[in-house]
Structure 1
């Protein structure tokens, strides 16, 4: 089975490995190298690095809308194209090229959380579970019928980064199941998504990282978890801008103005919210690294009696 794999970030790497184990990956498509780091030098995507390490040819078109790019794909004569967080739109002309169409590994239980940031939005919303879907792609955004799906609970303290890594591996396992069926001559049944329950996971924006103390503490605690490791929640506490890597909600009645530092101790910095208190446990000062609240207070002794 000749497979074309299209993906870009680290999330797609386990799925590339699964595809490589279940067929001939004739080529890998990934986004062009982008400037990164302080030197702004061109950096290859994680998928490109994995493909090069495995000796798989890599193509990096700026778009798949051009006829020349589409003809190059036809010339590869793919049986199936697998798309995992590629980042480029696939027009219908591309979807029609492979014999079995295009499959997508998506990190949610569709139709909930279609779109760019399903992992973080699930945590932010307080969902009890999420999962991965193997979807037959169509022209709509994550609207295609689902071939296979697997659910998993979201841990009480699980961060966006931790859930990302778990779902990357779970997605690879579901993809492997689908490819195993296809190689055995069994085409997975495509089940249309219901429109009821459909939600959209908007792309993360750094502007969202600023905490609004007027919100309930439990909502802010979820945002801290969801936005770790990026873009990382931030707020001004006791006159200092801090990035917040770890926090928990504390049920406490208070009459303080939201944003007021109620107390500071080794267990954390307690900040008044619209409802309840947010206890900041792991924080980062400007230009510094992530540290515990106890280490922070060693440098800010003026806050210990706050």
Structure 2
């Protein structure tokens, strides 16, 4: 067994909590956890803790939640932990150089893509949306640039035709946790050896927005299907039919041309709602109507009012209006 490292862990969402749990299960020592400040969430604006904070408190680990590291006191607290290394996973806060230089071995990051492809905020969803055949995890030594640091280790995972943003997130969270521990053990034994990224190959995974989740039916059905999978489970693809906004959870492209205007419902039956697109057709199979839960189209069509809504010839708006 390699020697133990004293670790500061910095992360916020579920994706990061998987790596924190792996560290808790390892022989490395977590001296502190950093996470985003508690936020208001839900209709009741209840103050909630991040998944990382909840896990840290369960194990009696000190939790720090600075708004940023501009304050000298925050920098001193970090320094006083005297950590060997800082592990950063979806923390949500840019770290200044003074923080990157504080731990003895610096800071490493668990990133959900095969860098230099998909640097940035939404690498998992952008890989699906772009039709990539594979993605994975890169662990890199952090530097001041956005995901530009030299790469320490990588693991590859294929992207299946069934993968959604949610399923791929879960796969990569587990893969990232596993790769983190093996990488930490190597670092403890041999130190950090890293390979520079080829910056000419870099692509950027811009943050997801609710606005882009509205389906543009003038596009190819294949591209629309990928976007629907990418945006499941957030922000969830949406389409406007009459005065209703319908959330589209699952669909599959049908490689068949149509003479109908893009956005026109060709037919609706127990198999799904077939819609004409700019190129090819899209079969919607799981939908969510306003004020209701998500359901299969087969179940939705049991209600006469839904049969009328989704009737042949009905027209989805090309974009949100």
TM-score when scaled to structure 1? 0.97
Distance 1:298 1:101 in 2: 59
C-alpha RMSD over aligned residues: 1.1
Query: Helix, strand or coil: the match of 1:39?
Result: coil
Q: 1:177 aligned to 2:200? A: no
Distance 1:49 1:41 in 2: 15
- Shift, 1:182, TM fit: 2.2
Match among 158, 167, 170 for residue 165 of structure 1: 170
Q: 1:253 aligned to 2:257? A: yes
Q: Name structure 2 gaps, 5 residues minimum.
A: 314-321
> What residue number does 2:98 align with?
93
**Which whole-Å deviations, capped at 9, do the CAs of 1:3-22 have from their partners, x for residues lacking one?**
00000000001111222223
Contact 2:265 2:312 (8 Å CA) reproduced:
no
* TM superposition outliers: structure 1 runs of 4+ over 3 Å: 237-240, 303-306
> What residue number does 2:156 align with?
151
**Which whole-Å deviations, capped at 9, do the CAs of 1:101-133 have from their partners, x for residues lacking one?**
000000000000000000000000000000000
Distance 1:168 1:30 in 2: 17
> What residue number does 1:186 align with?
190
Q: How many residues align?
A: 305
> What residue number does 1:301 align with?
307
> What residue number does 1:213 align with?
217
> What residue number does 1:135 align with?
140
Matches within 5 A, 1:31-70: 31-70=36-75
Distance 2:133 2:203 in 1: 16
Query: Helix, strand or coil: the match of 2:67?
Result: coil
Matches within 5 A, 1:218-297: 218-237=222-241, 240-297=244-301
Q: 1:108 aligned to 2:107? A: no
Q: 1:10 aligned to 2:14? A: yes
Query: Helix, strand or coil: the match of 2:187?
Result: helix
- Shift, 1:241, TM fit: 2.2
Distance 2:11 2:280 in 1: 42
Contact 1:237 1:261 (8 Å CA) reproduced:
no
Distance 1:6 1:119 in 2: 20
**Which whole-Å deviations, capped at 9, do the CAs of 1:116-155 have from their partners, x for residues lacking one?**
0000000000000000001000000000000000011001
Contact 2:265 2:311 (8 Å CA) reproduced:
no
Query: Helix, strand or coil: the match of 1:196?
Result: helix
Distance 2:181 2:312 in 1: 57
Q: 1:23 aligned to 2:28? A: yes
Q: Name structure 1 gaps, 5 residues minimum.
A: none
- Shift, 1:188, TM fit: 3.7
Query: Helix, strand or coil: the match of 2:88?
Result: strand
TM-score when scaled to structure 2? 0.93
> What residue number does 1:126 align with?
131
